Amino acid sequence: MRSGRTLWSDSPNIRIRHRTVLEREQYDVAVVGASISGAIIALMLAEAGHVVVVIDRREPIHGSTLASTAMIQFE
């Protein structure tokens, strides 16, 4: 990274649907952290039939994943 800003941080049309209120009272699994790792774990658990909730203090695409996945840039 040469500029200190990622390509994704300047992309205004990137949106992830999310909720700020839980839909139900009970879940099978709570994944803390919506990073790329948390998202993959949540997806795998959901595909295995578990009811999963992902909890993060920030909105999606605003944490470290913004920086880490942005390394997939053209040279």
How do residues 13-50 score in pLDDT, each as one tens digit?
A: 667 777 888 888 899 999 998 877 888 899 999 999 99
The pTM of this model reads 0.65
Residue ranges covered by each domain of the chain = 26-75
What's residue 35's pLDDT? 79
Could you tell me which of 28, 32, 30 has the C-alpha nearest to residue 48? 28
What's residue 71's pLDDT? 54
pLDDT grade for 1, boundaries at 50, 70 and 90: very low
Q: Which helix (H) or strand (E) holds 66?
A: helix 64-68
What's residue 68's pLDDT? 62
3-class SS at 45?
helix
